[in-house]
A and B are shown apart, each in its own frame.
Chain A
Amino acid sequence: KAGVTQTPRYLIKTRGQQVTLSCSPISGHRSVSWYQQTPGQGLQFLFEYFSETQRNKGNFPGRFSGRQFSNSRSEMNVSTLELGDSALYLCASSQGTGETEAFFGQGTRLTVV
């Protein structure tokens, strides 16, 4: 069974640009969540999509957005990049209930210069 796949693994972008990250969940999983990991703020929840609908949202500005497709694949978009957006972005997939295990991808390392 294939795991959670995130692409690309590494990205370097310039301030002001936008970026799109992709996450392919485990087959059969309908929930995809996104997290930002930085040394200063740790792991923070961005948002969760379930059956193509945003079900939960963390406390991030509107520059951070996402979507989920009918095959459960998800994309995350960050517009008008800032230096502080440099982080490891992790995607997690699960069946969709809180007590079930969330499987994490290896992450996308975004560097904003």
Chain B
Amino acid sequence: AQSVTQLGSHVSVSEGALVLLRCNYSSSVPPYLFWYVQYPNQGLQLLLKYTSAATLVKGINGFEAEFKKSETSFHLTKPSAHMSDAAEYFCAVTTGANNLFFGTGTRLTVIP
């Protein structure tokens, strides 16, 4: 069985500050991990994905995430927050069955 836990349902950062959104996963087999972003009344957009090629994954809009097997973590970071980053972020896991298990989401607020 697979699952993800996102620590912090709400995160607030100042514009220009580091963004760190936490995700821990549980999987009995090597997982594929994803981060998605959702803007109000919209679907989900993929930010980045880990598929075992490289542990540090770079995504769109300056986001990146590092897969740490020893910590079962896949935290999302961005060096400098922008107002347009305000949204809800979801971490998701699958083991190849093409069904995603999502975390409960983290709402990011960027303070000007």
**A residues bordering B, Cβ < 8 Å?**
4, 6, 31, 33, 35, 42-45, 48, 50, 55-56, 58, 90, 92, 94, 96-99, 101-107, 109
Q: What 4 A-B pairs come out closest when comparing CB atoms?
A: A98-B96, A104-B43, A43-B102, A104-B44
Is B70 interfacial (CB 8 A cutoff)? no
Q: Please, how many angstroms separate the alpha-carbon atoms of A92 and B101 in the complex?
A: 13
Give chain B residues whose Cβ lies under 8 Å from the Cβ of A103: 46
Is B42 interfacial (CB 8 A cutoff)? yes
Chain B: number of interface residues, binned into ranges: 20 to 34
Give chain A residues whose Cβ lies under 8 Å from the Cβ of B97: 55-56, 98
**B residues bordering A, Cβ < 8 Å?**
32, 34, 36, 41-46, 49, 51, 90, 92, 94-105
Q: Please, how many angstroms separate the alpha-carbon atoms of A43 and B42 in the complex?
A: 14
A31 to chain B, nearest CB (A): 6
CB of A97 within 8 A of CB of B43, answer no
Closest to A34 in B: B99
CB of B99 within 8 A of CB of A58, answer yes
